[in-house]
Structure 1
Amino acid sequence: MNRDPDPEVRVYGMPQDENISHALRVYALAVLFALVAQVQRIIVGVFIEREGLQRMPKDLYGWWLICTFIGISTLAWTATGRKFPINMILIATIVEGSSIYILMDQKHTPGILPNFYITVIVVALVVGSCFWGAYFPMRLVPGDLLLSLLVAVANIMIIAFFVNSYFIHNKSFYTVVRNYFALVAISMVMYTATIIHDRQFDVPKNEYLFLSVLLFFAYMILHERILALSLQHYDLDCDIII
C-alpha cells in the first residue's frame, strides 16, 4: 500500500530539512530572486542604447501589478499552483516578468552609478522594513486590519488607474498610484517579517515560497518607485543627474 507523501514534499516539491529554518529559506530565496533580476538588468543594460527610446505605455504598470498579483495568488491559494512543478513555473514567470518590466523602465536611466544608488536605496528600504516588522513593538507594525484596508483600497486604486489611463489621462494620478503602492509594499514587507519571525501565531510559517515571492514583489514595486522618482530629475538629453 502506497503511503501519501509528506505534505511539504507534495506541496512544495522538496523535502523538509530541519537544519534550515523557514526564515532562512524565505530570506535566501527572496535575495536569490532579487539577484537574478539585478544581474539580468546589469547584463542587458550594458547593451542598451538611449537613442530613439520611447516611454512605456502608462497602462503597462497596472497590467504588471495585476498579472503578478494573480500569479502570487495562484501560488499561495490554489492546490494546483502550490504543487511542483507548477509552483516553480509561476515563480520563474513572476521573477522574469518583473525583471523585464523594470528593465524596460531602467533603460531611461543608463549608467552604472544612478542604478547603483537606486538599488542601494531600495535594498535599505526593504531591510529596514524587515527589521521594523521583526523587532519593533507590534502596535507599531501593520496588522491584519490595516493590511486588509490597504489591499481593499489598492483594488480601488488599480481600477481608477486604468480609468485614468484610458479615459482621463491625468498625469498626477499616476504618481499618486505609484506612491500608494509603494506604501502598500513597505507595509507588506513589515507584515511578512512578523510572519517570518513568528510574531503572527495564526499564519503558517512554512509558506516560504509564497513569502519569498511576496518580498521580491514588494522589492520590485519599490525599485520601480525609486526609479520613477529618479527619472523626474534626469534629463534625457544629457548624461548627468540634474
Structure 2
Amino acid sequence: MPACPGPVLGAVRELAWLVGHLVLYPTGLFTPDPARGPAREAPVGAGRTTTPVVLVHGLADNRSIFAVLRRALHRQGFTDIHPFDHNPLGGDIRSKAELLDHHIARVCARTGAPYVHVVGHSLGGLVARYHAQRIDRGAHVRTVVTLGTPHRGTLAAHLLRAHPLVRELCPDSAVVAELALPAPDCTTRFLAYWGDLDPFVIPLASGAIDHPDLDAANIRVSGAGHLTLPACRSIVLDLCTLLTDRHRADHREAPDAAATPLAA
C-alpha cells in the first residue's frame, strides 16, 4: 500500500508542495501540450507502452499539478500524455465530462489507440468518473484513477456553496446523486487514492468509491494531503506500475514482466 510520510512530515510536505505548485502554476497556463507535437521516443531502458494517458486537473487548477506524475510516466515509456484543459472556475461537471469525451475521441483518433487511461485530481477525478460511468461506460476509457476526489461530495464545499461549480461538490448535489445510480454496463476499472491529511475532502472516506456496479479499488494513503497526492513518490511509483501492467495485460504480454524501476 502506498504511503507518504507521517502526519507532521506530511503536513510540512503539503505546505512545501503548495509553495512549489504556486511557482509551477504559470507553466500550466502557457506551456503547450507536448502531446500535440510529434511522438517522442521512450527513454532507453524504459518499459515502452502506447496507451495514452489523459490528465484532468481540479478546481482553480491547471495541468501543472501533474508535473511530477507526467515526468515519471514519461520515464516509464508513456510518451502520449494528454492534459485535458478545462475552465477551472466555470461550467459544470456534466458539460466538462462531455468536453472530456470529445478530447478522448481526438486522442484516440490521433494516436490510433482504442482506449486511454484517465487520471483526475480532486474535481478532475469527479469529471473523469462521471464521463466513464455515465457517458463512455468503458468504450474508450480503460482505467480511471482519482486522487483526492470527493466521490460522495465534501462538507467543505458548503463554505462556497454560492458558486455553481462548487455547489456540485456538496454531498446533496444532483451530480453526487446521479453517480449513485445503477451502472451495470460500465466496464471501466476505477482506482481511488485518498489521503488522511486532506482538509478539502470531508469526511475523508468520501475519497473512496462505494458503488456496487463499479469495478473499483480504494487506497487510503497515510500522511498525504490534497496537493501532495499527485506528487507523492509512492503513489507515482504505484501508478506507473499499474498503468504499465494494465497495458501489458491488454496486449497479452508475458505475465511476469515487471515495470522498470523508477529513479527518485
**TM-score (ref. length: structure 1):** 0.29
Q: Relative to total residues, which structure has the larger strand share, 1 or 2? A: 2
TM-score normalised by L of structure 2? 0.27
Between structures 1 and 2, the one with greater helix share: 1
Higher CA-based Rg: 1
